[in-house]
Amino acid sequence: MRGTALALSLALLCACSPRLAPSPSAVPPLEQIHHDPARDAQLSLLREAHRAFAQERYPAAALFFRRFVDTTAAGALRVAEARWWLGRSYEQMGEYRAATAEYRMLATGDAAGDAQASLYQQQALQRLDQLRQVPGGLPAPATRQVALALPLSRLPPVPVWVAWLQALLKIGVTTVLLDPGDTDRDAERSPEPIQTFIGAAHLAGLSVWGAVDPYQGGGLVLRPEWLSRSPAMNGDTLPRAPDPAHPDYQAVLEARALQLLRAGCDGIFLKAREAQGYAHNFTDGSFRQFSSAFGFALTPQQLFGEPAGGETMIYDRESTYWRWVGWKARSYATLAARIRKSMRDVSPAGRLVLEAHGRTVSEPLFGLEQYGEDLNDLFQRSGGDLAIRADETAGPLLLGQLAQQVGTSDRLWLIRSLSVPDAMPVIEWTEGLGAVSRERGDGNVVLLPRRTGGIP
């Protein structure tokens, strides 16, 4: 039933859109619609992909070409064509690594005597050679990307989705960052609401990321042993927030990210820690791992507080403490790298974005201790993007500083918080985002609406 609905939706989109001339490099024109529903749906999908590319709606074009490639048998007619234009779409979006991956797959594939496929293979080889010869590395992104963050519970009613998504496209939004963590835990077991929205967003030409909060565990069933405590609690073992360094909890976070990808998300957004004090939070499981990694035989009380019973601390407390701080930060970076590695099997072109604090850019030691953020290690180890929280005045300066550190700006995002009146519905305040989304058009931005009384 869902496949039939998709076919009908694509056919309607194709019928309602203006007729465009075929792309100059797409060799023969697309086949006419026939009476095979599955084949007709695929041809409509390819038509809509070419139309989106011609209209410079590159995220939409990438989604449509990607779906055609993923749902068509390897070696089938038009797959080489779709993969070539998928690579071109990624280039226009500044996704040069993803574009290169598509060109390589095309160039090393089997043309099976298909003259058209052979032509696209030659073009892919030429493009790979051109990209390798670009002085100073790959060019800067051609298109600014804008993501709008929104909790799943705050989506507009289903009947207005089409109009709302079209309104987002008109104001320059390319991605919806969907946070399912504020819903009840049934969302963890049933991804149906998320899948339904993702299907509508993809048809409109928008990509969707799924948010995962390692520091709060929203939407997850948390076990007591994953919950951290602090020496400041004076021996009280009341649980606090989950500890991302706990190995079993890390496995659950990885599974959650893969669940969102299998539901159709085009990327994963790992949220940053809200409160300071990350280095002073621990679980027995994570502390045992740390002690074992360095061959220590010590307790949290020995490291963080006065030794029990007057016992002498046999290690240099300060150096041991900073080893602990670095170990915790590295543990989080390793988690991000594991998620990115798993993503390649489910969604090779999927994007991993890691949220971090602006103060970590200007004060790395503070960010390392208080938030567990080692930005260079996160960036290099995970292969993901960095989204920086910063105020409007300092944000661009911090991004420039970070770009110099990591050597690129195309994988950096600035998070902008927006105040939203408590009583205003989502569909209404969306209309006022146009001017904001177009400000400072020289970098990627995540728009984070916050209601007057808190997060929407």
| Cα gap 191→388, rounded to integer Å | 29
Residue-level pLDDT at 442? 60
CA dist list (Å): 96 to 61, 137, 289: 15, 10, 38
The H-assigned helical ranges of 265-416 are 284-294, 300-304, 317-346, 358-362, 364-371, 375-382, 395-406
Residue-level pLDDT at 232? 63
Neighbour tally for 34: CB within 10 Å: 9
Among 431, 453, 446, 447, smallest CA distance to 170 is for 431
| Cα gap 394→294, rounded to integer Å | 39
Displacement of CA 75 from its chain's centroid (Å):
30
How crowded is the C-beta side of 45, counted as CA atoms within 13 Å?
A: 27
b or e along 145-164 (b: 16 or more beta carbons within 10 Å of the residue's beta carbon)?
A: bbbbbbbbebbbeeeebeeb
Q: What is the pLDDT of residues 219-271, one digit of tens each?
A: 888 999 999 988 765 555 454 789 999 999 999 999 999 999 989 898 999 99
b or e along 331-359 (b: 16 or more beta carbons within 10 Å of the residue's beta carbon)?
A: bbbebbbbbbebbeeebebbbbbbbbbbb
In the chain, what are the helix, strand and coil shares in percent, each to the nearest 5?
55, 10, 35
Could you tell me how many residues make up the chain?
A: 456
In degrees to the nearest 10, what's the CA dihedral of 383, 389, 393, 399?
A: -10
| Maximum Cα–Cα distance across the chain | 85
Residue-level pLDDT at 154? 84
Q: What is the pLDDT of residues 359-382, one digit of tens each?
A: 999 999 999 999 999 999 999 999
For residue 154, report the phi and psi dihedrals to the nearest 5 degrees: -100, 10
- Tokens at residue 241, please? 């927030």
Residue-level pLDDT at 392? 65
Q: Three-state SS for 44?
A: helix
CA dist list (Å): 292 to 90, 281, 288: 44, 18, 6
**What are the beta bridge partners of residue 449?**
418
The residue ranges of the chain whose pLDDT is under 50 are: 1-34, 140-142, 184-188, 237, 239, 310, 453-456
Whether the predicted model's global pTM rises above the 0.85 cut = no
By the 10 Å C-beta count (0-12 exposed, 13-18 middle, 19+ buried), 424 is classed as middle
Displacement of CA 431 from its chain's centroid (Å):
25
Torsional class of 407: left (φ above 0), alpha (ψ -120 to 50), beta (otherwise): left
| Cα gap 117→119, rounded to integer Å | 5
- Tokens at residue 53, please? 């590319």
How crowded is the C-beta side of 343, counted as CA atoms within 13 Å?
A: 28
Sign, CA dihedral 139-144-149-150, equals negative
The C-alpha R_g of the chain, in whole angstroms, comes to 24
For residue 446, report the phi and psi dihedrals to the nearest 5 degrees: -110, 120
**H or E segment at 413?**
strand 412-420
Among 25, 21, 50, 23, smallest CA distance to 127 is for 25
Residue-level pLDDT at 190? 58
Residue-level pLDDT at 253? 95
**H or E segment at 417?**
strand 412-420
